[in-house]
């Protein structure tokens, strides 16, 4: 037997202790068997000593075998560094995607606010009165009956009997329809409803999960919550992007009418309020996830090279 093949395992404390115990009891057993030490006698003491020698030898052997088994299962540093490098690449990709979605959130918000701003031109009295500034101010309380209140105001304002105001209303709405038609395709693309362009990956994490559980050069326990949070924020982004599309579609339907419509107004104001409240929040969440994910990737990068 080539002892040099087993010598590296003796660096492990458990193997070393077991080896010392094993050798000690083996030596004592051989010493007793040689007859150099006189027999203790036929008393209980001799039986106890022999029992200790016998089981001590077995215990030492079991400790050594257990140490070999643990050492065999332990991952080498090179294996751990390779897994860390793979995880780093995936996390960097996810951080990039989260950052891009955060930028998209800002673009979607600006697109929605551009349309909302056009309708709030004070010199065009009908839409200016129907679309109060409070509806796009997240700090203001929500008013579920706002559309009824504003439509009743319009009916008593006399603006519906003013041909000039109606003409200006239709011209303004026609311009909004043209703007929405140019914007909708971009909004749908940014929404990425099928998650084809903006993909959050976890293939490397899932494939290396058995390896990650044995890691000693870094702690992977925080990864499950990080991946779960990233997936959660991504899904929220997709829903909010869809709400922006619904807002623009509802606005187009409202503007396509030759005169103000109560139900169409209600749909627009509700979608507008939801968009204004959710988009800034999802952008902040995406920025946070991108920052945390990149920090984890950078930490893994240091682990992989050190």
pTM listed for this prediction: 0.72
- What is the tens place of the pLDDT at every residue in 199-251? 999 898 888 777 777 767 667 778 889 999 999 999 999 999 999 999 999 99
Residue 184 pLDDT level (bands cut at 50, 70, 90): very high
Give the H or E element holding residue 289: helix 262-305
- What is the tens place of the pLDDT at every residue in 257-278? 989 999 999 999 999 999 989 9
- What is the tens place of the pLDDT at every residue in 63-76? 656 655 555 444 56
């Amino acid at each position: 037997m080539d002892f040099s093949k087993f010598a590296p395992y003796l660096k492990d404390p458990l193997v070393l202790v077991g080896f010392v115990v094993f050798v000690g009891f083996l030596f004592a057993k051989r010493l007793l068997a040689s007859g150099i030490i006189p027999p203790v006698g036929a008393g209980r003491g001799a039986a106890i000593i022999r029992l200790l020698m016998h089981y001590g030898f077995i215990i030492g052997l079991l400790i050594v075998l257990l140490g070999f088994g643990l050492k065999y299962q332990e991952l080498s540093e090179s294996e751990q560094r390779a897994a860390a490098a793979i995880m780093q690449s995936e996390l960097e990709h996810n951080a990039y995607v989260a950052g891009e979605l955060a930028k998209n959130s800002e673009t979607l918000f600006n697109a929605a606010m551009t349309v909302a701003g056009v309708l709030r031109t004070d010199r065009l009295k009908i839409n200016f009165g129907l679309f109060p500034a409070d509806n796009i101010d997240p700090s203001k309380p929500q008013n579920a009956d706002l559309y009824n209140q504003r439509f009743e105001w319009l009916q008593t304002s006399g603006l519906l009997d003013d041909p000039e105001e109606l003409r200006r209303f239709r011209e303004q709405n026609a311009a909004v329809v043209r703007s929405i038609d140019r914007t909708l395709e971009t909004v749908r693309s940014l929404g990425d409803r099928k998650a084809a362009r903006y993909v959050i990956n976890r293939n490397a994490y899932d494939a290396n999960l058995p390896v990650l559980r044995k890691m000693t050069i870094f702690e992977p326990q925080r990864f499950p919550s990080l991946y779960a949070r990233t997936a959660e924020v991504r899904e929220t982004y997709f829903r909010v992007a869809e709400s922006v599309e619904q807002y623009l579609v509802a606005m187009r339907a409202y503007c396509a009418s030759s005169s103000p419509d109560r139900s169409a107004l209600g749909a627009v104001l509700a979608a507008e309020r939801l968009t204004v409240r959710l988009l800034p929040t999802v952008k902040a969440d995406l920025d946070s996830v991108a920052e945390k994910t990149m920090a984890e990737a950078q930490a893994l990068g240091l682990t992989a090279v050190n």
